[in-house]
Amino acid sequence: MNTLLIHNIGVNKSVSVVIPNYNGGPTIGRCLEALFMSDYPEFQVIVVDDCSTDDSAGIIQRFPCELVRLKRRSGASFARNAGAKKSSGEILFFIDSDCLVLENTISRAVETIAGKRELIVGGTYTCAPADNRFFSFFQSVFIHYSETKNERPDYVASHAMAIHRSLFETSGGFPEDFLPILEDVEFSHRLRRLGCTLTMNPDILVRHIFNFKLTGSLRNAFRKAKFWTIYSLGNKDLTSDSGTASRELKINGTSFLISAAMLPLFFFSGKSIFLLLLSAVFFFNIFLSRKLIAAFYRTKGFVFAGAATMYYMTLYPLAAGIGALAGVLGYKNSFLRK
């Protein structure tokens, strides 16, 4: 028998790994393979299938994990909560079906949270994604940098979140009547208001499978900005420095808007003052983004850093800006409006 398929059967499990899955056929197999290569000796894996229409369930059943099938499509929050209810571990570790843990990911999460019952521990993406595409590298570096800037983050993302099961149960879990995304942000903010501490350990890493082309990256920027804006307006923290919704990104978007106004003014008026203002805004933005640019360079060299920086300062803020505008309009009809 394949030893992979009998790993961790019959042990006293102290950790439960919970994974929501919806049509994750292209990635869930790799996700589970990586999990069962972990160096942590005792853990339970619960995969909650949210009424997938692909071959996900068949792939999941090849592995020694518990498969929970939801009766109707209910969303990632409901799936995570359902998985937590089936768990037996003292510690819950949440990841996504398109994330690949490293060999020591679970061990480092447990080391960080052990004995600290009021602590929510977060990890992040590796700088190098699981697929070798430019826009995937851009996204992975951007998220890694944004989520690891502060040891005490504004939120802990559910792509690598550890929490004691007792605290999770007391908290009520992830919000089920909420936006399509950002449930981990709401959850983090709610627990922090209850006196819990959020911490980021940049050594807790997962590799993400993005498979992003240009259109996928721009759609992601639009969607994230739309729902971040809706949530932030309702939470009254629109200007806060919050992970991937960082002040740097917001200033980057503002710089793009100013530049978009200065360029036609220069061409139509011929006055050099507009060109000087455009240059000043550009270099100011470069200065504020220097640590992100350095992260681009460390990950993949000079050529990648140059291309990623130009994308970050041109097309990316355009998509995010349109998304933010859609969020402002969407907020008027959102249940988050106070």
103 and 222 assigned to the same domain: no
How does the average pLDDT of the chain come out, rounded?
A: 92
How many domains in the chain? 2
Same domain, yes or no, for 169 and 190? yes
State which of 190, 212, 234 marks the end of a domain: 212
The parent domain of residue 33 ranges over: 3-212
Question: Does residue 168 share a domain with residue 297?
Answer: no
| pLDDT digit string, tens, across residues 70-91 | 999 999 999 999 999 999 999 9
* pLDDT score at 8: 36
**Same domain for 258 and 202:** no
Q: What is the pLDDT of residues 19-29, one digit of tens each?
A: 999 999 999 99
Mean pLDDT, rounded, for 42-67: 96
Domain boundary among 212, 228, 263: 212
This prediction's pTM: 0.91
**Residue range 241-269: mean pLDDT, rounded:** 89
> Are residues 262 and 204 located together in one domain of the fold?
no
Supply the pLDDT for residue 268. 83
Residues 50 and 172 in one domain: yes
pLDDT digits (tens, 9 = 90+) for 100-157: 999 999 999 999 998 898 999 999 999 999 999 999 999 999 999 999 998 899 999 9
**What is the pLDDT at residue 77?**
97
- Are residues 328 and 256 part of one domain? yes
Are residues 204 and 240 both part of a single domain? no
Sorted by sequence, the CB contacts under 8 Å of residue 85 that are 6+ apart come out as none
Q: Are residues 165 and 241 in the same domain?
A: no
Residues 220 and 165 in one domain: no
Please indicate whether residue 84 or residue 7 has the higher confidence score (pLDDT): 84
**Same domain, yes or no: 223 and 207:** no
Domain identity same for 205 and 249 = no
Task: Give me the numbers of helices (H) and strands (E) for the chain, helices first please.
Answer: 12, 8
Average pLDDT score over residue span 278-301: 95
Of 183, 212, 241, at which residue does a domain stop?
Answer: 212
Q: Which pLDDT value is given to residue 337?
A: 61
Residue 206, strand partner residues = 101, 125
CATH at 114: 3.90.550.10
What's the whole-number mean pLDDT along residues 34-60? 96
